[in-house]
């Protein structure tokens, strides 16, 4: 196979790599396999200057290797819980989709999307894997709490918010379809094939945002890996199904932009022991189904083997590829070699001013999103008083979301329990306003509240699916006389049986929990957020 054909095939892949600097693996992928796109993960990001320098080095490698156009540089910056660029010194933590829906303000959604896109654009990222456009029609859907969703109550607000996102900044945005789009009465996993029961029509109740985004020119769409046998006639993952990628997206919905798959290393594709086809074959099948680009995020062997398998499929005539949509996307968004590699003497002051504006906007948005159920006269709490804070252990939901950092220890140094960085930040936030006694509660361990405590702050995390948290709350309620304030740190479906004041912040990011703390201690006035789900 000649180099020109390898260059064309390489455009159909987006790969990730490990490390905070250019690795030998990503060099090989760019220089020898001519991959046209790179996805940055949280593991690649230190701060804004480092990210910008890393991207410029990647682009330099591509130019020197003979790539015709600059790389697409993508990142999963959905905001909220999935914010690969949000960390100290890098991107601002903004509210996720459910928290934005709670503000009730399309204007705030537009401002957040513009600010987030501007930060990415400044460091050289030109492909944002967002926004999340999901509308959940069933609280039993286990994706809720992993990836934040838009409201199921106000679809018009959601559609308008997503429309302004599309036109808010010159950066590629996309949404993921058929990953959380279906009604499923039984538990299913986003990364594994499981038969589901769709509504009578292929167009479920959650489809308006997707239709609106296609109508208003969204540039790219991601396909997920669940199975929809009632629609496709097989248990094959949707990302490998021509009935989905071509018949539904292209023909029925009229989408003319670029289709990229979710990462093929998810078990629905990679786990051959469970009947999956494997990453290499999955890449070919996804391209056969009509995908323009396939994503493989982590493993160099799978990445190179997928490209080699695609070479074979092209040479045998099994696969005929077309780069026209990729070329059009790069023409519009990737820039020129001069623009991506040129010096920017104004970067430091521009970044500083942008971050200042973004920080103020983030605080405003989180304040507007905080909601109160079961209003009460016990709020606000008085600063300076002893307060018992209870947080649940971090029951991991998603490797892309949860980190295992942060532990509490007993006085003699033994490991007490893993609290997670977000809940440790919550404890620090409460501790800046009161004498905070922080405990990570467990299903069977008795809780102790010091006698001098003036109040209890009890944190839930998707307790509708971990009901033991509610059982612990009931036991605590029966044993104390002081006020209990419940904080819902994720999807608010667990509020249904709670009678205490319930402060909903919709995500367990430090910024959202800081907003909840500010409200609890009376620093931001009344809660104006509205819970956007039933």
Task: Verify that 278 and 238 share a domain, yes or no.
Answer: yes
* Last residue in a domain, options 324, 352, 380: 352
Residue at 493 is within a domain: yes
CB-based contacts of 117-121 (< 8 A; 24+ apart in sequence): 117/168, 117/169, 117/170, 117/171, 117/173, 118/169, 118/354, 119/48, 119/85, 119/91, 119/92, 119/354, 119/355, 119/358, 120/75, 120/77, 120/85, 120/91, 120/171, 121/169, 121/170, 121/171
Assess whether pLDDT exceeds 60 at residue 318: yes
Residue at 531 is within a domain: no
Report the range of poorest mean pLDDT among 31-35, 206-210, 352-356.
Answer: 206-210
Query: What average pLDDT does the segment 400-421 reach?
Result: 50
Work out the pLDDT band at 243, boundaries 50, 70, 90.
very high
Name the helix (H) or strand (E) containing 330: helix 324-333
Alpha-carbon dihedral 393, 394, 397, 403, rounded to 10 degrees: -170
Task: Verify that 388 and 431 share a domain, yes or no.
Answer: yes
Indicate the length of the chain as a whole number: 534
* Last residue in a domain, options 290, 325, 352: 352
pLDDT of residue 385: 96
Work out the pLDDT band at 135, boundaries 50, 70, 90.
low
Tell me the residue range of the domain where 423 lies.
370-520
How many alpha carbons fall within 13 Å on the CB side of residue 260?
A: 32
Assess whether pLDDT exceeds 70 at residue 182: no
pLDDT of residue 231: 79
Task: Verify that 293 and 433 share a domain, yes or no.
Answer: no
Which burial class, exposed, middle or buried, applies to 267 when counting CB atoms under 10 A from its CB (0-12, 13-18, 19+)? middle
pLDDT of residue 71: 98
- Where would I find the beta strands (DSSP E) of 21-147? 37-40, 72-75, 77-79, 82-83, 127-128
Task: Verify that 114 and 199 share a domain, yes or no.
Answer: yes
55: domain CATH number is: 3.20.20.300
Assess whether pLDDT exceeds 60 at residue 251: yes
Assess whether pLDDT exceeds 70 at residue 173: no
Task: Please report, for residues 10, 437, 471, the alpha-carbon distance to residue 532 in angstroms, rounded to integers and kept in the order given.
Answer: 43, 32, 26
Task: Verify that 344 and 447 share a domain, yes or no.
Answer: no
Residue at 504 is within a domain: yes
Residue at 338 is within a domain: yes
Q: Which residues, 6+ apart, have CB-to-CB distance to 181 below 8 Å?
A: 134, 204, 206, 207, 210
Q: Is 174 helix (H, G, I), strand (E, B) or coil?
A: strand
Task: Verify that 49 and 192 share a domain, yes or no.
Answer: yes
Residue at 492 is within a domain: yes
Task: Verify that 389 and 308 share a domain, yes or no.
Answer: no
Tell me the C-alpha distance between 321 and 316, whole Å: 12
Closest by Cα among 5, 49, 40 to 22:
40
Tell me the C-alpha distance between 182 and 160, whole Å: 22
Task: Verify that 348 and 404 share a domain, yes or no.
Answer: no
Task: Verify that 275 and 338 share a domain, yes or no.
Answer: yes
Residue at 534 is within a domain: no
**Average predicted confidence (pLDDT) for the chain:** 85
| Predicted confidence (pLDDT) per residue in 434-453, tens digit | 999 999 999 998 999 999 99
Residue 274 is given by DSSP the state G
pLDDT of residue 168: 43
Q: How many domains does the chain have?
A: 2
435: domain CATH number is: 3.40.50
Task: Please report, for residues 28, 64, 70, 90, 529, the alpha-carbon distance to residue 60 in angstroms, rounded to integers and kept in the order given.
Answer: 14, 6, 9, 22, 46
Task: Verify that 436 and 348 share a domain, yes or no.
Answer: no
Task: Verify that 385 and 304 share a domain, yes or no.
Answer: no
Q: Which residues, 6+ apart, have CB-to-CB distance to 419 below 8 Å?
A: 391, 393, 394, 406, 407, 408, 427, 438, 440
Tell me the C-alpha distance between 142 and 191, whole Å: 12
Task: Verify that 345 and 397 share a domain, yes or no.
Answer: no
Residue at 387 is within a domain: yes
Residue 381 is given by DSSP the state P
Work out the pLDDT band at 171, boundaries 50, 70, 90.
low
Q: Which two tokens stand for residue 100?
A: 């934005």
Report the range of poorest mean pLDDT among 185-194, 322-331, 504-513.
Answer: 185-194
Assess whether pLDDT exceeds 70 at residue 22: yes
Alpha-carbon dihedral 401, 404, 410, 416, rounded to 10 degrees: 80
Phi–psi pair at 418, nearest 5 degrees = -85, 120
Q: Which residues pair with 516 in a beta bridge?
A: none
Residue at 85 is within a domain: yes
Tell me the C-alpha distance between 462 and 440, whole Å: 16
Task: Please report, for residues 23, 78, 333, the alpha-carbon distance to residue 69 in angstroms, rounded to integers and kept in the order given.
Answer: 21, 26, 11
Rg (CA), the chain: 24
Assess whether pLDDT exceeds 60 at residue 307: yes
Q: Which two tokens stand for residue 314?
A: 């092209």
């Amino acid at each position: 196979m000649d180099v020109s054909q390898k260059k064309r095939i390489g455009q159909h892949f987006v790969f990730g790599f490990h490390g905070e600097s250019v690795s030998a693996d990503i060099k090989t992928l760019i220089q020898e396999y001519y991959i046209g796109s790179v996805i940055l993960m949280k593991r690649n990001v230190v701060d804004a200057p480092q990210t910008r320098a890393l991207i410029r080095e990647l682009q330099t490698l591509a130019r020197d290797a003979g790539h015709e156009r600059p790389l697409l540089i993508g990142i999963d910056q959905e905001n909220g819980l999935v914010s690969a660029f949000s960390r100290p010194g890098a991107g601002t933590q903004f509210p996720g989709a459910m928290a934005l829906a709670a503000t009730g303000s399309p204007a705030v959604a537009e401002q957040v999307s513009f600010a987030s896109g501007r930060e990415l654009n400044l460091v050289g990222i030109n492909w944002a894997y967002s926004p999340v456009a999901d509308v959940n029609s069933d609280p039993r859907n286990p994706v809720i709490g992993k990836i934040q969703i838009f409201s199921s109550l106000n679809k018009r607000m959601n559609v308008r918010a997503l429309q302004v996102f599309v036109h808010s900044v010159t950066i590629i945005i996309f949404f993921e379809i058929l990953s959380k789009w279906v009604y499923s009465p039984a538990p299913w996993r986003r990364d594994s094939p499981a038969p589901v029961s769709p509504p009578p029509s292929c167009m479920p109740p959650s489809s308006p945002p997707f239709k609106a985004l296609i109508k208003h020119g969204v540039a790219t769409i991601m396909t997920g890996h669940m199975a929809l046998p009632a629609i496709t006639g097989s248990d094959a993952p949707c990302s490998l199904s021509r009935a989905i990628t071509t018949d539904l997206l292209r023909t029925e919905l009229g989408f003319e932009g670029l289709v990229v798959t979710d990462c093929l290393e998810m078990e629905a594709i990679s786990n051959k022991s469970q009947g999956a086809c494997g990453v290499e074959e999955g890449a070919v099948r996804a391209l056969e189904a009509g995908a323009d680009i396939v994503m493989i995020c982590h493993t160099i062997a799978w990445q190179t083997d997928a490209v080699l398998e695609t070479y074979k499929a092209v040479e045998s005539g099994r696969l005929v590829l077309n780069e026209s949509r990729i070329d059009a996307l790069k023409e519009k968004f990737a820039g020129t070699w001069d623009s991506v590699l040129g010096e920017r003497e104004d970067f430091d002051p521009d970044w500083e001013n942008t971050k200042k504006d973004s920080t103020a906007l983030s605080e405003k948005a989180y304040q507007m999103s905080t909601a109160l159920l079961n209003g009460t006269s016990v709020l606000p709490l008085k600063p300076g008083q002893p307060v018992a804070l209870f947080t649940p252990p971090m029951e991991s939901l998603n490797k892309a979301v949860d980190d295992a950092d942060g532990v509490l220890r007993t006085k003699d140094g033994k490991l007490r329990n893993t609290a997670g960085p977000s809940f440790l930040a919550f404890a620090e936030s409460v501790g800046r306003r009161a004498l905070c006694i922080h405990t990570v509660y467990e299903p069977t361990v008795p809780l102790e509240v010091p006698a001098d405590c003036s109040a209890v702050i009890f944190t839930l995390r998707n307790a509708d699916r971990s009901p033991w948290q509610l059982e612990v709350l009931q036991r605590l309620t029966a044993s104390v006389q002081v006020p209990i304030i419940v904080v819902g740190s994720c999807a608010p479906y667990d509020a249904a049986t709670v009678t205490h004041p319930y402060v909903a912040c919709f995500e367990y990011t430090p910024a959202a929990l800081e907003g909840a703390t500010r409200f609890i201690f009376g620093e931001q006035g009344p809660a104006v957020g509205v819970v956007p789900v039933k």
